[in-house]
Amino acid sequence: MEGILIQHTTRRQLWFGALTALVIVLALGIAVPHANVALPAVEPFMPMCALTVFTTASIAAFFLGAQFTVTRQPVLGALGGAYAFTALAVALQLLTFPGVFAPHGLLGARPQSAAWMWVFWHAGFPCFVMAALLARERLTRAPVGTAQTRLWTYALVGGPAVAAALLCVLALN
**pLDDT tens sequence across 7-27:** 788 899 999 999 999 999 999
Residue 134 pLDDT more than 70?
A: yes
Distance spanning both ends of the chain, measured CA to CA: 46
pLDDT digits (tens, 9 = 90+) for 35-82: 999 989 888 888 899 999 999 999 999 999 888 888 888 888 889 999
Give the residue with greater pLDDT, 165 vs 36.
36
What's the mean pLDDT in 97-108? Answer: 80
pLDDT of residue 1: 40
Q: Where are the alpha helices (DSSP H) in 10-157?
A: 11-31, 45-71, 74-96, 113-138, 149-153
Q: Which of 144, 157, 7 is nearest to 77 (CA)?
A: 157
pTM over 0.85: no
Residue 32 has pLDDT above 50, yes or no: yes
Percent of the chain with pLDDT over 90: 38
Nearest-angstrom CA–CA distance, 78 and 42: 36
- Chain centroid to CA 23: how far? 24
**What is the tens place of the pLDDT at every residue in 80-99?**
999 999 999 999 888 888 88
The pLDDT of residue 172 is 80
| Domain spans in the chain, listed from the N-terminal domain onward | 44-172
Query: What share of the chain in percent tops pLDDT 70?
Result: 93
pLDDT of residue 5: 57
